[in-house]
A and B are shown apart, each in its own frame.
Chain A
Amino acid sequence: MKKSIYYSLLMSAMMSVAAAEETRQVDKHEHGVGELNIAVEGSAINLEFMIPGADIVGFEYEAKSDSDIALVNTALSKFQDFENIFTLSSSGNCNLVDAEIDINQGDEHEDEHDHEDEHDHEDEHDHEDEHDHEDEHDHDEHEEEAHNEFVAHYSFTCGNVKEIDRIDFPYFTTFPNSGELEIQFVSEVGSTSFEVEGDKPFIDLKGKI
């Protein structure tokens, strides 16, 4: 009996050490570099933007003052109309079927992480009791460093997806603070990547869909 308690103590100690190591990862984050993923399959085309707050509203802390909150809300409303951000060639005959616009700031970001891997979620719960104090400490630190990030997903279905030969990005004029966009693109033809900047705000997709 006693032995098993020792074992379980040992186990939990080992696991919590492991857990502490495992969770110490931070996403890369670079001002002036927004990410965009584009996937095409069948008649569907999906675009997902992940843009650092600095590129959109000029700051990266969590919006707390009224003026900051207003800035964030205006930015979010600009994302609501995708034509402020990008346009697909009209010959593709595409209709927006779904759009999700969000901003991850500080804690929210962490929360989302947990949601994604649900089985991990439970595991972590177990250890949190033991390490409450430390965890809180970590959180504080996180909050200071937290960067907000605009995340926007758009899904389209297209009458003629192969006719899309170009995507333009009014994004660069809509948000004057924006830097470059790093684009990963995948379709049945294969994958490729682009780097787009404001002086040449479009990508050429001839032969890539």
Chain B
Amino acid sequence: MLLKLSLSSLYARLVTVGMTVIAISFSLMLYMSVEKLRTSAYTSFTDTISQTDLIIGARASSVQLMLYSVFRIGNATNNITWESYLDVVNKEEVDWAVPISLGDSHKGFRVMGTNKDFFARYKYRGGQSINIDKGYLFEDLYDVVLGAGVAEKLGYDIDTPLIVAHGLQSFSEHDDQPFRVSGILEKTGTPVDNTVIVSLAAIEAIHVDWSTGAKIPGQETPIEEIRKMDLTPKNITAALIGVKSKLTIFNLQRWINEYPEEAMTAILPGAALQELWRVVGVVENLLLGISIVVIFTTLIGMTAIMFSSLSERRREMAIWRAMGASPRTVVGLLMLEAIFISVLSILLSVILLFFSLSILQPWIDYNYGILVNVEMLSLKDMYVFMTFIFASIIVSLLPAIRAYWFSINDGMTIKI
């Protein structure tokens, strides 16, 4: 009876109640999407590299080394020499090592020089390997392997010719030595998708006639001659390293960090990611804080609307009283109303969230490489909902108490 009464009362005020519900559900959706994005970003980040024990590069902060070697964000401060790399590889603790050379680009995508071991050793998402979707890994000096994203965005297929540009934002191109797509990788959801991969020898080959960032004028070594040259790299940007025993990682790390011949840094990828996350976490908490404030604001808005509707509803309440409702019942009705509004808002916000996420998910994945998991609500979300309902009951007490006094004072006749 009470329920039906309250529902029909709400129905009678469809527009104001509807607007309140929409306002609240948008603020709840804002909170939930921030929360979803932040957990998804974290898993995407931590899933990017696994089973690599150490990453080495020139002396830099661990976060910086991590960002340029794995995420291809920013640039290396320096390269490390091939000799130093070999010194590290020859340490008995080292099980495997994959060199990486960065610095060139193709149409805005980073070009990475490495060897075939990269495809076997680079693991992501808890040990998944990179698989080849089409074609084969580089056989010839001028073969390239494309990440799924590069092939998709540039519309390249097997055998498409391409030219590598010198540097990242540059008009000088290595146009004398064209490449050919030999293979395209499966989508991984990692920065590998947006990388053009060539062999280390190819990186060396395209720089044969180059000295200190510019092409030596008039000098053009024929490709046949380059093919015969010794194309062992002179330096590399970074290297991924696996150790035989985890117990020796820190000894090796210290040895590399204190290596006297060259200033190098060795990092544990997971440790560096965690460090980065502590920095990002501040911004995250800020976003979360803002969305919680927004929820509070809408709660206050809901109270304000209930207050303002009270005066126009004095007649309605008088009728309730006439029908035998006690002042307490009036309070109960108002609180019930608040519960209805918040439950309705929660339902609407969940629908809105999943609707917008399923639309935006491919776009976020495409542009930012973050795979937002559109899955069921977490236990934490449930807690938030319960808290929200509880909070709305509390704030509805204020207008309810006012209504209580109104109904006691007014009785069945309204004195205005």
Contacts and interface: CB of A to CB of B under 8 A. Distances in A.
Interface of A: 22-23, 25, 27, 37, 39-41, 44, 46, 48, 113, 116-117, 120, 184-188, 190-195
Contact of A41 (B246, B268, B278): B246
B183 interface: no
A192 B270 CA distance: 4
B50 A194 contact: no
B250 A191 contact: no
B55 to A, nearest CB: 11
A113 to B, nearest CB: 7
B271 interface: yes
B255 interface: yes
Contacts of B250: 37, 39, 48, 184, 186
A190 B270 contact: yes
Which of the four size classes fits the interface of chain B? Answer: 20 to 34
Interface string B265-289: 0001111111100100000000000
Contacts of B270: 186, 190-193
A187 B246 contact: yes
A25 B249 contact: no
Contact of A191 (B247, B258, B271, B278): B271
Contact of B261 (A22, A41, A191, A195): A22
Contacts of A195: 278
21 contacts: A23-B260, A25-B263, A39-B246, A39-B249, A41-B245, A41-B247, A48-B250, A116-B255, A117-B260, A120-B260, A186-B53, A186-B249, A186-B250, A190-B50, A191-B53, A191-B270, A192-B270, A192-B273, A192-B274, A193-B274, A195-B278
A169 B198 CA distance: 48
Contacts of B258: 25, 27, 113, 116
B268 A186 contact: yes
B274 A186 contact: no
Given A116-B255, A193-B270, A193-B275, A188 B260 contact: no
Contact of B271 (A22, A40, A188, A192): A192
For the complex of A and B, 10 pairs with smallest distance between CB atoms? A191-B270, A193-B271, A191-B268, A41-B246, A37-B250, A193-B274, A190-B270, A192-B270, A184-B271, A22-B260
A193 B277 CA distance: 10
B260 A186 contact: no
Nearest to B270: A191
Given A191-B271, A193-B274, 6 more contacts: A184-B250, A184-B268, A186-B246, A186-B270, A186-B271, A192-B270
A76 B177 CA distance: 64
Contacts of A22: 260-261
A120 B270 CA distance: 32
Interface in B217-262: 245-247, 249-250, 255, 258, 260-261
Contacts of B261: 22
A36 to B, nearest CB: 10
Contacts of B278: 195
Nearest to B248: A39
Contacts of B272: 193
Nearest to A27: B258
A109 to B, nearest CB: 11
Contacts of B247: 39, 41, 44, 46
A44 to B, nearest CB: 6
B92 to A, nearest CB: 13
Q: Which of B51, B260, B272 has the largest count of A CB atoms less than 10 A from its CB?
A: B260
A193 B260 contact: no
A136 B250 CA distance: 32
A193 B275 CA distance: 7
A193 B66 CA distance: 14
A113 B255 CA distance: 10
